[in-house]
């Protein structure tokens, strides 16, 4: 037999992503239900040791239009960069 009591569960707050804005044109980055669009650009530099690490990190979010401009630019300065097919 289970004997129950009512207990208070404190309300919690947490930060969740409400929307993502393009860091270039400030438009909201929306994606459709079946879209696989991802366009985060990360740059991280610093030092990493077994128990800690430190440094700087830059994260940039691009909408599809701005990401196309960025990828065109990257392809123009880095001819060895190639698009790869993906599937799962
Ligand atoms: Zn944009």
At 71 the three-state DSSP class reads helix
The Å distance, Cα 65 to ligand 1 centre, comes to 6
Q: Give domain status of residue 74, yes or no.
A: yes
pLDDT in tens, 25-78: 999 998 788 888 888 889 999 999 999 999 999 999 999 999 999 999 999 999
Q: Residue 84 has what pLDDT?
A: 94
Number of domains in the chain: 1
Domain extent for 68 = 19-27+56-80
The Å distance, Cα 21 to ligand 1 centre, comes to 8
Q: Give domain status of residue 71, yes or no.
A: yes
Q: Residue 40 has what pLDDT?
A: 83
Q: Residue 44 has what pLDDT?
A: 95
Label residues 54-84 b or e (16+ Cβ within 10 Å = b).
Answer: eeeeeeebbbeebbeeeeeeeeeeeeeeeee
Q: Residue 39 has what pLDDT?
A: 84
Check if the beta carbon of residue 57 is closer than 8 Å to that of residue 19.
no
Q: Give domain status of residue 40, yes or no.
A: no
Q: Give domain status of residue 43, yes or no.
A: no
Q: Give domain status of residue 61, yes or no.
A: yes
Q: Give domain status of residue 51, yes or no.
A: no
Q: What's the mean pLDDT in 3-32?
A: 92
Check if the beta carbon of residue 30 is closer than 8 Å to that of residue 64.
no
What's the gap between Cα 28 and its chain centre?
A: 14
């Amino acid at each position: 037999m289970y004997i129950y009591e009512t207990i208070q569960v404190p309300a919690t707050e947490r930060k969740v992503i409400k929307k993502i804005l393009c860091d270039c044109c400030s438009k909201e980055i929306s994606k459709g239900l079946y879209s696989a669009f991802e366009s985060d650009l990360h740059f991280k530099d610093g030092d990493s040791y077994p128990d800690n690490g430190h440094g700087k990190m830059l994260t940039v979010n691009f909408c599809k239009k701005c990401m196309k401009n960025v990828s065109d630019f990257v392809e123009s300065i880095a001819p060895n960069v190639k698009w790869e097919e993906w599937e799962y």
